[in-house]
A and B are shown apart, each in its own frame.
Chain A
Amino acid sequence: MHEPLFSACIRGAGAVLSLARTTLDGVQARRGKDAPLAYPETAYELPVAFGLTELRVTTLSGAGAVLDLARTLIREGATAENAMDAGAATLLAADVLGALSHENGNPYPPPSVGFVPDSVLRKLGIFMVDGSVPGVAVVIGNAADPAAAAAMVRHFQEIGLLVFLAGEVTGQMGAQGVKLGEDFKTFPLGPLPAVIHAVNFAVRAGLTFGGIGRGQAQAMLSYLGNRVKAFVCALGPLDDVALAIAAGAMKAGLTVLADEAVPEIPGLLLSRPAGEEMALAGMEARGIKVKWVKLPVPIAFGPAFEGERIRKSDTHVEFGGGRSAAFELVRMSPPEEVRDREITVSGTDLRGLPKGTILPLAIVVRVAGSRMQKDFESVLERRIHRIVNYGEGTMHVAQRDTTWIRISTEAVEKGFTLSDLGMMLYAKLHADFENIVDKVAVTILTREKDVAAGLSEARAAYAERDARARTLTDDAVSEFYSCTLCQSFAPNHVCIVSPERLGLCGAINWLDGKAGFEITPTGPNQPVEKGAVLDPVKGAFGGINDFVRQHSRNTVREMNLYSIMDAPMTSCGCFECILAIIPEANGVMAVNREFAGQETPCGMGFSTLAGSVGGGVQTPGFMGVGKHYLLSRKFLGAEGGLARVVWMTKEMKEQLGPALRERAAEIGIPDLVDKIADETVAVTPEQLVSHMETVGHPALSLPPLL
């Protein structure tokens, strides 16, 4: 079904080439074959030939050589490959025509600019490299509905795209009052053939900013395809010539969107009505993402407000927290099911509600992205907590179906609505997870029955996720993740984060590490192959040892993931709690950061101990860990696991709560938690040992630690 299209491209290429040949012959007859040929104000001769061929073009006869080469690219046979090559031939020939037309400078009447000189390219190119110009839209043809096309171009301008116009649409946009010119990054090039100046602009961008040399055609095509985030909006009927130019754009990896019916080629040729739908499709196809400089919400937004508490007296509306049903859920969905920036609020919104209102609430965020993974749902969902707290006048506590959100009276008076809350989530999830999220849609429900219905779906999702988490074990995965974030102050410390041993700061688990790597591939979280299993009990792995050795710059030569006595993991300084051996008790104690007391059975409080544990040094017998590591099946595997814990602060016991008892039951010592001493029972080794003997602590019968 593509054959007629391909044939048209090839016919169009032939037509452009013939026209170029005739025009060139005419000029040659007038000026001689050695007459110079160049665009004004560029260092790149005829840029398309410069970028894609070895030919040097400074004279009319040089241009003839380009046309000869182009001729060899036009082959009969309606195949995709032939059509694309014909497209490349079209671009080469059109650039010759373009240069010929610039013999006396810009041939077009204002506002059309014709060829865009290098000086403008340099200025704008900086912002393309910078990302503040997120992409390029080339709008060509004749709009059937000029108002809709104008709205689309204005949308491009709002988000900062560089816009080129060619064809009747140039005049149409002027008539619609669309602002044109360099200040608006919108260049009316001229009639349809002038679209070549968008192409030679892109080629020169590759030559200037991509470090690509003359004639490196493959590097140039790859630069155009991957770096120049450009797409073409073709309005109105497409004749053979327009299709040949479009084929050239596709050859360079650009997406062409037509508002007429065309046989689609996924990713390259799409048919969409002009307007928002065409704009979104083009941006999506080219991976253009919009960055919000300032969020369009009526309240201030930023980390400065993260710690803000909203007291009952300042609360206007409240959701969840045990007072009403409420939940939040992030779901990954197929791209076609998510409309980016769709924020739906269904049910009562905040405006006009009396102070003290309590409402049910469901927040469902649907995300799609080519690099999104189902495992990242929980990582994104936990971010909701921080995002809501970033608002001045919005407070968020807890997560999942225990979530609790308060909105202050001041915020409601400023006009804050639930759509604004949705906007906060939308924009920040995009910004924070730029590399993995392409589309975000937020649905907020406040009707009792909607929330109840959603809640059962959400609980099923949580259960599914928890089940998945249980299957994520150190033995089941082949890669762990590193975290070297703390090397700024502990230069040789390397954290290895595995599914069953979270980072010692407690802030990064294996999934966070995985997501962190996807978000910043050059960042502190890198995948680490486990490699050969040298000792499954101690947690010794060949790949981990290699990585730690290299990244500690040869300081830590080996590291056992599940041992405190034999080559334990080093600590930076951020540990949630410290484990320290008590030789007399044949066990270890655990003291958390918040514990202010100085009296523990090892004779040191947290801060004193921290001084000897941190700094990236291996200190057998002492180790900083995340609190939840105590609940892991891999906790001190080499030393006998949780049964080794003989002392723990009261606060930690409370924080770990029922999960600690469950884990104790799992290892067959259901009363272990009660046998573990705390600061109210023992603060010296003697007191500790006598307590252990009284209650019969299992550590006493474990093999000696030393």
Chain B
Amino acid sequence: MTVSPSIPTFPGRILEVTLPAGPGGSPVVVGGQNALPLLPEGDHPHAPAVGMEIRTGPEELPPALAEVIGPFSGNPAALAQKCVSGWGARFLFLSLSGCNPDAGGQGVQDGAAIVREVLAATATPVIVGGCGDEDVDGRLFPAVAEAATRPVFLSYAEEKNYRLVAGAALAYGHGVVSWSPIDINIAKQINLLLADLGFPGERVLIDPLTGGLGYGLEYTYSIVERVRLAGLSGDAMLARPILCHLGDAWKAREASDASEPGWGDSALRGRRWEEATGLACLAAGADLLVCRHPENVKRLSEAAWR
């Protein structure tokens, strides 16, 4: 007797979103699927894409990162080139962390200048992240939107600032990353609000906030899964590609603490911590992963087989 497994089919399809590249670069296209991740059934026109983060502010790098990206500290354009041509990042997430008054305190115009430098240094798609300070970001996003010499994505638009970020993106033809704090309803609401403003859906990514392994990953996993199921079930506002930023994985003590020899080599540990977080996000349904360790670009890209 043969048993035929029941294969669920979904009425919805995830909207296809293109992260545009500069001249000579390859754009990243994600979305377009009508099935759950990694499974054989359904259409998966685009495999998830793995990109790398570039931070502009001063920071103490965990041992695993210090040895590989440490040498590029203070030179975001050089790091950008290395990420793309050396390590295979398909897109860049440029965090203007240096504009935060508590971490470098670069001026808004300095941040905009860095965006221009990075865009000049590489043709790969770029997502530009704010510094996390509400006041500064309120000035930073319009400045970045104006300074960017080609279309980028602005990260992120949330309930408080979405009008400003969307306005800046509309003015200069950029996309936005809609952000919600691990909450499917807010994720939906912020997308609804963006749609109400007339923001084109094919220029929106969802960032559901990614907790690192051991520090909230399970919540993220569940939310990513539910956002994707809702999208596939026909909820247009959630039928959008999902971006998981793995930066939080490095905030775990286990990923960076070298003072615990019993936990094994801290460099390997850190890399694995990020990798495990990324693998879980892929399994949950992420379309875009942002990592920091070059080795993980390769490992996660291999895992993202469809």
Task: Decide: B142 and A126 in contact? CB cutoff 8 A.
Answer: yes
- The CA-CA distance from A208 to B171 in the complex, in Å, is 6
Q: How far is the CA of A553 from the CA of B145 in the complex (A)?
A: 38
Which residues of chain A in 154-213 are interfacial with respect to chain B, using CB atoms and an 8 Å cutoff? 208-211
Of the stretches A30-38, A389-397, A484-492, the one at the interface is A484-492
Question: Is B229 within 8 A of A553, CB to CB?
Answer: yes
Q: Does A568 contact B (CB under 8 A)?
A: no
Given contacts A209-B167, A491-B222, A553-B229, contact A123 B142 (CB under 8 A): yes
Residue with the highest number of chain A CB atoms closer than 10 Å, among B146, B198, B226: B198
Q: How far is the CB of B169 from chain A (nearest CB, A)?
A: 9
Compute how far the CA of A130 lies from the CA of B164 in the bound complex, rounded to whole angstroms: 4
| B198 pairs with A210, CB closer than 8 A | yes
Once the chains bind, are B198 and A211 in contact (CB under 8 Å)? Answer: yes
Q: How far is the CA of A491 from the CA of B222 in the complex (A)?
A: 10
The reply on A274 being an interface residue by CB < 8 A is no
Q: Inside 8 A of B222's CB, which chain A residues have their CB?
A: 491
B164 touches A129 (CB 8 A): yes
**Once bound together, how far apart are the Cα atoms of A128 and B168, in whole Å?**
10
Chain A residue nearest in CB terms to B229: A553
Q: Quick one: which of A127, A485, A487, A523 contacts B167, CB cutoff 8 A? A: A127
- CB pair A488–B185 under 8 Å, yes or no, is yes
Task: Kindly state whether residue B69 has any CB partner on chain A within 8 Å.
Answer: no
Give the Cβ gap from B203 to chain A, nearest Cβ, in Å: 10
**A216–chain B nearest beta-carbon distance, Å:** 12
Cα distance A487–B164 in the bound complex, in angstroms: 27
CA distance A6 to B258 in the complex (A): 82
Contact check, B170 vs A487: say whether CB atoms are below 8 A apart.
no
Q: Is B193 part of the binding interface, using a Cβ–Cβ cutoff of 8 Å?
A: yes
Q: Which residues of B contact A334 (CB under 8 A)?
A: none
User: CB of B140 within 8 A of chain A?
Assistant: no
**Central interface residue in B146, B167, B192, B196, by most chain A CB within 10 Å:** B167
**Interface: B18 (CB within 8 A):** no
A209 & B183 in contact (Cβ 8 Å cutoff): no
With A127-B167, A129-B167, A553-B226 known to touch, is A122 a contact of B172 (CB < 8 Å)?
A: yes
Most buried by A among B164, B168, B184, B185: B185
**Alpha-carbon gap, A546 to B142, bound state (A):** 43
Q: A129-B163, A522-B192 are in contact. Are A209 and B198 (CB under 8 A)?
A: yes
Is B303 close to A, CB under 8 A? no
Does the CB pair A487–B171 fall under 8 Å?
no
Which of B170, B189, B192 contacts A208, CB < 8 Å? B170
Contact residues, A516-564 vs B (CB, 8 A):
522-524, 553
Minimum CB distance partner of B143 in chain A: A123
Q: Contacts A211-B200, A524-B185, A553-B230; is A129 near B146 (CB within 8 Å)?
A: no
Residues of B239-270 whose CB lies within 8 A of A:
none
A209-B170 in contact given A491-B226, A522-B189 (Cβ < 8 Å): yes
Decide yes or no whether B66 CB sits under 8 A from chain A. no
Residues of chain B with a CB closer than 8 A to A127's CB: 164, 167
Q: How far is the CA of A522 from the CA of B196 in the complex (A)?
A: 10
Decide yes or no whether A503 CB sits under 8 A from chain B.
no
Let me know if A125 and B182 touch, CB within 8 A: no
B197 interface hit (Cβ, 8 Å): yes
Check B163 against A488 for contact (C-beta < 8 Å). Answer: no
B186 at the interface (CB under 8 A from A): yes
Tell me the nearest residue of chain A to B193, going by C-beta. Answer: A522
Most buried by B among A484, A488, A524: A488
Please give the distance in Å from A412's CB to the nearest CB on chain B. 33
B92 at the interface (CB under 8 A from A): no
Query: B210-248: which residues lie under 8 A (CB-CB) from chain A?
Result: 222, 226, 229-230, 233
- Inter-chain contacts of A487 with B (CB < 8 A): 183-185
Instruction: Determine the distance from Cα of A625 to Cα of B107 in the docked complex, in whole angstroms.
Output: 52
Q: Is A131 an interface residue (CB 8 A)?
A: yes
- Cα A129 to Cα B162 with chains together (Å): 9
Report the Cα distance A129→B142, complex, angstroms. Answer: 12
State which residues 128-166 of A face B: CB under 8 Å. Answer: 128-132
Which residues between 207 and 247 of chain A lie within 8 Å of chain B, taking CB atoms? 208-211
Q: Known A126-B142, A129-B166; judge A484-B185 contact (CB<8 A).
A: yes
Interface size class of B (residues with CB under 8 A): 20 to 34
Which chain B positions have C-beta within 8 A of A211?
Answer: 170, 198-200
Chain B residues near A523 (CB-CB < 8 A): 189
* Interface core residue of A123, A125, A522, A524 (most chain B CB under 10 Å): A522
A513: min CB distance to chain B, Å? 15
Q: A1 CA to B222 CA in the complex, in Å?
A: 66
Residues of chain B lying within 8 A (CB to CB) of residue A208: 170-171
A487–B185 CA distance with the chains assembled, in angstroms: 7
Q: Roughly how many angstroms separate A373 CA and B112 CA in the complex, as a whole number?
A: 48
Contacts of B168 in A (CB 8 A): 126
Given A129-B170, A522-B196, the answer on whether A122 and B184 have CB atoms closer than 8 Å is no
- Check A125 against B229 for contact (C-beta < 8 Å): no
How long is the Cα–Cα vector from A138 to B146 in the complex, in angstroms? Answer: 27
Contact B185 A123 (CB under 8 A): no
The contact of B164 among A126, A491, A522, A553, by CB within 8 Å, is A126
**B233 — which chain A residues lie within 8 A by C-beta?**
553
> How far is A621 from B199 in the complex, measured between Cα atoms in Å?
47
Q: Are A122 and B171 in contact (CB under 8 A)?
A: yes
Please encode chain B, from 150 to 192, with 1 for each CB lying within 8 Å of some chain A CB and 0 for all others: 0000000000000110111011100000000111111001001
Query: Cα distance A129–B146 when bound, in Å?
Result: 16
Nearest residue, chain B, Cβ from A227:
B198
Task: Give bound CA distance, A591 to B20, whole Å.
Answer: 58
Residues of A within 8 A of B196 (CB): 522
Tell me, rounded to whole Å, the shortest Cβ–Cβ distance linking A323 to chain B: 42
Shortest CB distance B305–A (Å): 28
CB-defined contacts of B200 to chain A, threshold 8 Å: 211
Contacts of B189 in A (CB 8 A): 522-523
Check B198–A123 contact: CB distance below 8 A: no
Shortest B206–chain A CB gap in Å is 16
Report the separation of the CA atoms of residues A485 and B185 in the bound assembly, to the nearest whole angstrom. Answer: 8
Q: Using Cβ atoms and an 8 Å threshold, which residues of chain A touch B163?
A: 129-131
Known: A123-B146, A522-B193. A488 touches B182 (CB 8 A): yes
Which partner residue on chain B sits nearest A127 by CB separation?
Answer: B167
Q: Which residues of A contact B183 (CB under 8 A)?
A: 487-488
- Which single member of A121, A126, A488, A553 contacts B186 (CB below 8 Å)? A488
CB distance from B12 to the nearest CB of A (A): 13
| A211–B193 CA distance with the chains assembled, in angstroms | 15
Q: Are A491 and B184 interface neighbours, CB within 8 A?
A: yes
A125-B185 in contact given A491-B222, A522-B193 (Cβ < 8 Å)? no
Name the interface residues of A644-697: CB closer than 8 Å to any CB of B: none
Please give, as numbers and ranges, the residues of chain A lying within 8 Å of B146 by CB-CB distance. Answer: 122-123
Contact (Cβ within 8 A) A128 B230:
no
* Centre residue among B163, B200, B222 by max chain A CB count within 10 A: B163
Roughly how many angstroms separate A211 CA and B233 CA in the complex, as a whole number? 28
In the assembled complex, the CB of A299 is this many whole angstroms from the nearest CB of chain B, namely 24
> Given known contacts A131-B163, A210-B198, A211-B198, is B185 in contact with A126 (CB within 8 Å)?
no
Question: A132: which B residues are within 8 A, CB to CB?
Answer: 164
| CB of A116, distance to nearest CB on chain B (Å) | 14
Assuming A126-B171, A127-B167, A524-B185, what are 13 further A-B pairs, CB within 8 angstroms?
Answer: A122-B146, A122-B172, A125-B170, A125-B171, A129-B197, A131-B163, A209-B198, A211-B170, A484-B185, A488-B181, A488-B183, A488-B186, A522-B196
Nearest 4 CB-CB pairs, A to B? A129-B167, A122-B171, A126-B167, A488-B183
Question: What are 28 of the A-B contact pairs (CB < 8 Å)?
Answer: A123-B142, A123-B146, A125-B167, A126-B142, A126-B145, A126-B167, A127-B164, A127-B167, A128-B167, A129-B166, A129-B170, A129-B197, A130-B163, A131-B163, A132-B164, A208-B171, A209-B170, A209-B198, A211-B199, A484-B185, A485-B185, A487-B184, A487-B185, A488-B183, A488-B185, A522-B193, A522-B196, A524-B185
Taking beta carbons and an 8 Å cutoff, which residues of B are in contact with A?
142, 145-146, 163-164, 166-168, 170-172, 181-186, 189, 192-193, 196-200, 222, 226, 229-230, 233
Q: Which A residues contact B (CB, under 8 angstroms)?
A: 121-123, 125-132, 208-211, 484-485, 487-488, 491, 522-524, 553
